[in-house]
Amino acid sequence: MMFKKIVIANRGDVAIRVQRACREMGIQTVAVHSTADSSAMHVRLADESVCIGPPASKESYLNIPAILSAAAISGADAIHPGVGFLSENPSFAQIVQDHGLTFIGPKPEHIKVMGDKIEAKKMALQLGIPCVPGSDGAITTKEEAVLVAKDIGFPVIVKAAAGGGGKGMQIAFSETELSNAIQLAQSEAEAAFGSGEVYIERYLANPRHIEIQIVGDKFGNVLHLGERDCSLQRRHQKILEETPSPALTKKVRENIGNLAASAMKKFGYESLGTIEFLHENGEFYFIEMNTRLQVEHPITEMVTGFDLVKTQIEISAGKPLKIRQNEVNINGHSIECRINAEDPDNFMPSPGKITDYHPPGGLGVRIDSGIYSGYEIPPYYDSLVSKLIVHGQSRKQCLARLRRALDEFVIGNIKTTISLHKRLLDSKNFVEGDYDIHWLEDHFLKP
């Protein structure tokens, strides 16, 4: 049975993205918001809204009892967690189910396995997904670490099992560096995640970050929808994403996509998922899997014409996928620029009142955003304020359209990263698609 009313446990552009899918499907929407977000666009656009707590995320967007209460008083039958916040919290997914509601996402067990990076890697290996050579599970002592490192060869990287997103990572080029790295990673992980469990991998020096979008239904049908190249990052924050990756051929894309899809079929995975790989010298190495909708999902939608959020909701309502793999076509090229309310020179957050707002438009231009003229950006949350997504028949046309759209874009009078994106378009490496995970930070942003 299709849902009648969905609570969207999120804010900003993502909450609006989910509302748009709901509206097109005839589903009522309930926004939740903190006291700092009373005048946010996601509240204005929803059919109903419920205030769930004070500004701090911990007390509002992460407040499970308050979100369940919002569902109860509004009579909703499902909860969509959006991106971030509670979207990859297996206990939340379970609690939602235990309250007779549907969690719009994968099964709690699958979220849990992928949340533990050691368990995720073991599962990936079992499913036939290639991984970076490394320790067989957790490492507890320096001696153990040295044995593994001597086997796989230096340099090695020490990672937190509870990590992801780069926290608690340490690189070691020698035996002496390794004992320090283990200790540092363990204490950093303990402080950040409450678990000091770490593991080791061979350190790949100059890979690209390539992720495969997959979608599975409750009937064992799994599709892949191509890849996204997310190598342009700063301090583990993505800046710009594109698809197809300039580094892959059609054949390579098909091979890794089919591998990812058949692995997820074996896993019994349902809903949207993203399998993250490092890609170096023609090889793919699994690093993590995200069991949720992603910030950069629009570029996949632009080249496939496939509504990922609508499909995600349909799958949770028990509907089968309507298309087969041979009906998935990658058409043209798409790029997403993350526009943050930040100083483009030092990336310091720059919240405040938006006095002027003129978003770009025209053929092949999409804006996913929750801002408007007169809106005051609160200082409590992520600084992403707008996603500019552009589509073109070729990468070249996509780049020309992106430059045109960035030139039209006015967000005054706060600092944003629009100028950074314009500068990127002037860079030879970017225009030629010649970049890896370190290029932006080590070359483009360095004086």
Closest to ligand MV4 by CB, 132 vs 299, is 132
Taking the C-alpha atoms of residue 185 and residue 179, their distance in angstroms, rounded to an integer, is: 10
Report in angstroms how near the CB of residue 137 gets to ligand MV4 at its nearest. 16
Nearer to ligand MV4, 61 or 439 (CB): 439
The Cα diameter of the chain in Å comes to 62
Least distance CB 173 / ligand MV4 (angstroms):
13
Shortest Å, Cβ 169 to ligand MV4: 6
Strand partners, 368: 387
| Nearer to ligand MV4 among residue 43 and residue 139 (C-beta) | 139
Cα-Cα-Cα-Cα dihedral sign, residues 372, 377, 381, 382:
positive
Residue 244: asked if its preceding bond is cis (omega within 30°), the reply is yes
In sequence order, what DSSP letters do the residues of 256-317 get, joined into one string?
HHHHHHHHHHHHT--EEEEEEEEEETTEEEEEEEE-S--TTHHHHHHHH---HHHHHHHHHT
Write down the catalytic residue from 17, 208, 228, 292: 292
Alpha carbon distance 128, 383 (integer Å): 38
Instruction: Give the single-character DSSP code of 203.
Output: P
* Residues 318, 270: Cα–Cα separation, whole Å: 10
CB 120 to ligand MV4: min, Å: 11
- Which has the closest alpha carbon to 179: 149, 221, 215? 149
Report the residue number, 27 or 157, with the smaller CB distance to ligand MV4. 157
DSSP 131: B
Tell me which H or E stretch contains 417.
Answer: none
Nearest residue to 120 via CA among 148, 160, 166: 160
In the complex, the smallest distance separating the C-beta of residue 236 from ligand MV4, rounded to whole angstroms, is 5
> Tokens representing 161?
């099992």
Q: Which is nearer to ligand MV4, 157 or 308 (CB)?
A: 157
Residue indicated by tokens 């509870």? 162
Q: How far is the CB of 157 from ligand MV4 (least distance, A)?
A: 5
- What contacts 250, CB < 8 A, 6 or more positions away? none
Q: Which is nearer to ligand MV4, 285 or 306 (CB)?
A: 285
- Chain residues in the site for ligand MV4 (CB under 6 A): 132, 157, 164-166, 201-204, 209, 233, 236, 278, 287-288, 437
- CB of residue 107 vs ligand MV4: minimum separation in angstroms? 23
Tell me whether residue 58 or residue 236 sits nearer to ligand MV4 (CB atom): 236
The radius of gyration of the chain's CA atoms, rounded to the nearest angstrom, is 22
Residue 202 is a catalytic residue? no
Beta bridge partners of 78: 6, 102
Looking up tokens 């926004």, which residue turns up? 31
Residues belonging to the active site: 292
